[in-house]
């Protein structure tokens, strides 16, 4: 098994985080696109594990909850019944600490009640106290009337 030298790994990840496409990373670095993608997955998994460990027992005064729209493979209007739930519209739910601008919790999936409730439950497990929460009014977010 070939191991990519550390400086090349850094170059690939830097290009990916700057928004370069996989093919342009391949052209710029000389690293095959499959290798760049495997490296990106490994680094992403490490980042997710670090985030999960560090973003715990947090005291924040205000949280902003929002969703970022995207699509996988095709837009929702072209999704066929057999395509599966990972195709079409996807949303990344984020909880942003207002003053620190830190992402406290995130989740990606369809914009459904179960996904939203799962996201909110994860957020609740990470935050101490009762911060003020601001949302866009998505009906599935729990209300504290």
pLDDT in tens, 2-50: 689 999 999 999 999 999 999 999 999 999 999 999 999 999 999 999 9
Evaluate if residue 141 carries a pLDDT over 90: no
pTM of structure: 0.81
CA 139 to chain centre: 22
DSSP state of 86: T
Return the closest-CA partner of residue 96 out of 88, 106, 87. 106
DSSP character at residue 88: E
Half-sphere exposure at residue 24, Cβ-oriented, CA atoms within 13 angstroms: 9
Tell me which long-range contacts 109-115 makes (C-beta under 8 A, separation of at least 24): 109/85, 110/85, 111/67, 111/138, 112/140, 113/140, 115/91
90-137: per-residue pLDDT in tens?
999 999 998 888 999 999 999 888 999 999 999 999 999 999 999 887
């Amino acid at each position: 098994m070939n191991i990519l030298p550390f400086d090349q790994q850094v170059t690939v990840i830097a290009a990916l985080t700057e928004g370069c496409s996989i093919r342009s990373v391949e052209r710029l670095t000389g690293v095959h696109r499959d290798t760049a993608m495997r490296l990106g997955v490994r680094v992403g998994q490490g980042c997710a594990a670090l985030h999960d460990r560090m973003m715990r027992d947090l005291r924040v005064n205000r949280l902003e909850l929002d969703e970022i729209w995207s699509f996988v493979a095709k837009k929702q209007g072209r999704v066929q019944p057999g395509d599966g739930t990972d195709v079409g519209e996807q949303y990344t739910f984020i909880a942003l600490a207002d003053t620190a601008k830190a992402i406290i919790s995130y989740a990606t999936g369809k914009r459904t009640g179960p996904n939203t409730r799962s996201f909110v439950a994860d957020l609740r497990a990470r935050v101490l106290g009762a911060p003020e929460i601001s949302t866009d009014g998505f009906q599935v977010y729990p209300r504290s009337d």
